[in-house]
Every structure is written in C-alpha cells, then in structure tokens.
C-alpha cells in the first residue's frame, strides 16, 4: 500500500511538473512522459500484486488486512512463547540426561564392585572347602 501511495504521489508531481513546462521544451516533456509511463506501469503492477495478495488472504478489501495482521501478531506471540518453553524444557532435558548418565555410571561401578566382592567370596569359599578336604 505504501509503495502504491508513494508512486501515485510521484506521478502526480511529475504530471504537475509537465503542465508547468513550456510547450517548446520537447526533450523535458519526453523525459517526463517516460517517467510518468514507468510510474503508471509500476502502479498497475503493484495494484495487481495487491489484488493477488488480497485474494490469497481471502480479503475483499483492505479492511480484512487489519484482522489478518492481528492474527499474525497473535500467532507470533504464541510462537515466541513456544520457543521460550522449548528452551526451558530443553535445558531441563539436558540436565536430566546428564543426571541419568551419572547415575548409570555409578550403577555400573556398584555392579562391578559387587561382582568383584562375589568373586572374592567365591574364591575364599573354594579355598576354605579345599582346606577342609
């Protein structure tokens, strides 16, 4: 919309300038005509793009755009909140995984100690039984 407004203002200024120049100043008139034609074409392209966008957004006119902007702002706020929650829970998950890994390591060490103790006990029993025979 702003591009269209700016182009229309510029085109009006060029038309006013063209009216002010002398009839005999043909090169300046041609230059202004070229610029005016380019701006007119740009305005038509922008209006066409606007119509396509309005159609894609299911808006009959510019009034529907305000509602869409509101929806977008609401969606962006929701996305921001979700990103914050993801960050929070990611750090909690990392901490939990780290704690799990530490506990798993401790558990393995305890199992190894139990196995070592069991082996030691078995060896002592075996020696004791050999001595009795």
Alpha carbon distance 41, 11 (integer Å): 11
- What does the pLDDT look like over 45-92, one tens digit per residue? 998 888 888 888 877 776 777 777 888 899 999 999 999 999 999 999
Residue with tokens 């929650």: 85
Cα angle 123-127-129, degrees, rounded to a multiple of 5: 115
pTM for the complete prediction? 0.42
Alpha carbon distance 115, 110 (integer Å): 9
Cα angle 1-43-25, degrees, rounded to a multiple of 5: 130
Res. 122: pLDDT tops 80 = yes
62 vs 22: which has the higher pLDDT: 22
């Amino acid at each position: 919309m702003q591009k269209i407004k700016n182009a229309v203002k510029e085109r009006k200024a060029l038309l006013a300038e063209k009216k002010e120049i002398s009839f005999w100043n043909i090169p300046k008139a041609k230059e202004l005509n070229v610029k005016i034609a380019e701006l007119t074409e740009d305005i038509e392209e922008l209006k066409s793009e606007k119509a396509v966008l309005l159609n894609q957004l299911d808006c009959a006119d510019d009034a529907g755009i305000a509602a869409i902007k509101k929806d977008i702002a609401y969606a962006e706020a929701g996305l921001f909140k979700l990103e914050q929650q993801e960050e929070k829970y990611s750090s909690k998950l990392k901490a939990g995984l780290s704690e799990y890994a530490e506990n798993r390591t401790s558990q393995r060490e305890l199992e190894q100690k139990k196995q070592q103790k069991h082996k030691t006990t078995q060896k002592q029993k075996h020696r004791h039984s050999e001595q009795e025979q």
